Structure 1
Amino acid sequence: MTTDDTRSDYQQRLILALRLKDVPGDRIGEIVAEVESHVAETGEDPVDAFGSPRQYAASLTAEHRPDPKWFTAVSLVGSGLAGWLVAQGGLAVLLGESYWGQSGWLWLALGLAIGVPGGISVWRRSTRVRDPRTGADLEPFSPGGLVVLIGSPIVVVLLAFAAIRIFG
Structure 2
Amino acid sequence: MHVHRAARRSGAPRVTLLTEGTYPHSHGGVSVWCDQLVTGMPDVDFDVLAVTGSGREPLAWDLPPHVSRVLSVPMWGPAPEGRPPRGRAGRQLADAYEKFLTALLDPGAEAGFGPALYALAHAAGDGRLSPFLRSDAAISVLTSVWRRPGIAVREAGPTVHDALTATALLEHALRPLSA
Instruction: Identify whether the pair has TM-score above 0.5, normalized to the shorter chain.
Output: no
Higher relative contact order (CA 8 A, sep 6+): 1
Higher-strand-fraction structure: 2
Q: Which has the larger radius of gyration?
A: 1
**TM-score, structure 2 as length reference:** 0.22
TM-score (norm: length of structure 1): 0.23
Structure with the bigger percentage of helix: 1
